Structures are given as C-alpha cells and as structure tokens.
Amino acid sequence: MADAKYKSYSSQAEAEKAFTDGYTTVFRSPKASKQLPTNAQYELNSICVDAASSGNPGIVEYQGVDTRTGERLFHHGPISRGTNNLGEFLAIVHGLAYLKKLGSNKMIYSDSRTAMKWIRDRHPSTSLPRDDSTQEIWGLVDRATHWLHTNTFSNQISKWETEVWGEIKADFGRK
C-alpha cells in the first residue's frame, strides 16, 4: 500500500499501547503535536462537512457525512460557478439546518476557518462578483444568510484538525 506506515516497538506492551492509542497519535507530526494535546480526539457523535471546487472560482459542490460511519447525510452540487470558501460556508449552514430539523445538537466539524468565521459573523465576506455566472451560488448564499439571521442553534462548530486526524471525513478526495 502506497500510504502504509510502519513502526517497530521494543516491547509488546509498547506496541499494544500504540495500537490502542491509534495511528494518528503514533504518527503525529511535530507541528501537529504543538497544536493539540496528545490525547485530543475528535467527537464521533458529530457530522463533518466539506466543499470541493474545480477552479476558484469554479464548479463547487459540498456535502455532510456522519463522522462515525462516513454515511453521506446531504450533498449539493455541482454549482456552476463559486468559490471553495462559499461552498464551505454553505456546507456548515446546510449542516446546521439539517441537524435543527432532526432536533439534534450534534457537533459540526469543518476544516475551513474562513467559513467558521463567516458563520460567527452571520455573513460571508467574499469578493465573488454577483453576475449571471454566479447567480446560482449567490441565491444559495442569500438563502443561507437569511437562515442564519432567522434561526437559532446550539450546535458547536469545531475546526477539524487535519494535521492530527487526517483529511476530514467529508473530504471529496481530489487533492
């Protein structure tokens, strides 16, 4: 396997501890270990959201998945012209609306600090022009912004720590 990682241990007890702690702890990069405590782990009872774009601006899509199972909970796209950050913003709002409809207070993970800031501000800050080519995404963004201004939610939105945990579970795998 191309991405396989191997490590030897001086005792069976040390190897068993590494197995129990999981590969992300064992193969943590020095940069990542400075970001989070070594025992930091993500919440399995949550959803992960992500967006992908072909070009920026370009064709955009986003999705949300169950963190534990990887089951796709929602997907939208392709959207003919937008930015990855707007896709990330829409994914979070879609996740919030989805969970609200279920009456769930599950956490949402996103790997986009920009989109998370826009959620806190209740409005995206983008330079994408409003024109015929971006009409579709702007319609979705306007609807999402309206939702944020007319709804409340208690769901925590947390940063997915890619350096520690690997790619977010909702990743489209196109890097």
What are the sequence ranges of the domains in the chain? Answer: 11-41, 43-165
Q: Is the distance from CB of 96 to CB of 153 less than 8 angstroms?
A: yes
Strand partners, 53: 60
pLDDT digits (tens, 9 = 90+) for 145-156: 999 999 999 999
- Residue 143: the pLDDT is 98
CATH top-level class for 43-165? alpha beta
Q: By C-alpha distance, which of 113, 48, 56 is closest to 74?
A: 48
Which pTM does this prediction carry?
0.79
The model's confidence at residue 23, banded by pLDDT at 50, 70 and 90, is very low
Handedness of CA 83, 55, 160, 110 (dihedral sign): positive
- Going from the C-alpha of 89 to that of each of 7, 31, 47, 131, 155, the distances in angstroms are 39, 27, 15, 20, 15
pLDDT in tens, 79-89: 999 999 999 99
